[in-house]
């Protein structure tokens, strides 16, 4: 598999695999190619998104991708590479492509002076848990992951200024 970083104008090439990922995570959702294209072009690929997108090519098509960003501050004057998405197309799974993608991400993290890579995964996905453990990753038990859903996000955004 040949892995490269996507350029800013390659968003249209990733519509199909991003749509496949959405169907994988949300089987009941209706994914429209036009909406996905607009989302990738306007939200994911612009430089201001802070996201790097890596694509894996095999058999003349994109069969894997990852989206990463670097977060600061991190101890020891370094960065934290965060993987937002890692996805391998269904027919290419369990062939070592995920490992290749993670190795590429690790190389990029080192090139950018990051001291760690972090990501989230579905706890009940035993295949994913086994894969990540095989890389040497540990589950970080000492932190909590927090989320404000749309209702509480709006409520907090409308909180009156107390100053």
Tens of pLDDT along the chain (163 residues)?
999 999 999 999 999 999 999 999 999 988 899 999 999 999 999 999 999 999 999 999 999 999 999 999 988 888 999 999 999 999 999 999 999 999 999 999 999 999 999 999 999 999 999 999 999 999 999 999 999 999 999 999 999 875 5
Which pLDDT does position 75 carry in this prediction?
81
Torsion of Cα atoms, 145 then 151 then 152 then 154, to 10°: 120
Q: What CATH number corresponds to the domain at position 71?
A: 3.40.630.30
Pair of tokens at residue 147? 């989320």
In a domain, 11, yes or no: yes
In a domain, 55, yes or no: yes
**Strand pairing partners for 78?**
74
In a domain, 91, yes or no: yes
Whether residue 78 contacts residue 63, with contact meaning beta carbons closer than 8 Å, is answered with no
Question: 86: closest CA among 135, 37, 46?
Answer: 135
Range of the domain at 8: 2-139
Pair of tokens at residue 156? 């907090």
Which pLDDT does position 163 carry in this prediction?
54
Helical axes 97-111 vs 126-134, angle rounded to 10°: 50
User: What do you get for the CA distance between the two ends of the chain, in Å?
Assistant: 56
Burial class (CB in 10 A: 0-12, 13-18, 19+), 137: middle
In a domain, 152, yes or no: no
In a domain, 159, yes or no: no
Which pLDDT does position 29 carry in this prediction?
85
In a domain, 161, yes or no: no
In a domain, 75, yes or no: yes
Report the number of distinct structural domains present in the chain. Answer: 1
**Strand pairing partners for 74?**
78
In a domain, 83, yes or no: yes
Between CA 112 and CA 47 the distance in angstroms is 17
pTM value > 0.85? yes
């Amino acid at each position: 598999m040949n892995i490269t970083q996507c350029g800013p104008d390659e968003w249209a090439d990733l519509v199909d695999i991003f749509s496949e990922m959405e169907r994988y995570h949300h089987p009941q959702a209706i994914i429209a190619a036009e909406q996905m294209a607009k989302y990738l072009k306007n939200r994911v690929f612009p430089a201001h998104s802070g996201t790097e997108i890596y694509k894996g090519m095999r058999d003349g098509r994109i069969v894997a991708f990852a989206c990463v960003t670097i977060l600061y501050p991190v101890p020891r004057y370094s960065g934290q590479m965060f993987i937002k998405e890692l996805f391998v197309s269904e027919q290419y799974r369990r062939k070592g492509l995920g490992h290749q993608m993670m190795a590429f991400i690790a190389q990029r993290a080192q090139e950018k002076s990051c001291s760690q890579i972090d990501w989230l995964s579905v706890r009940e996905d035993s295949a994913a848990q086994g894969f990540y453990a095989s890389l040497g990753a540990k589950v970080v038990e000492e932190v909590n992951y927090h989320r404000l859903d749309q209702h509480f996000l709006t409520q907090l955004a409308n909180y009156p200024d107390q100053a």
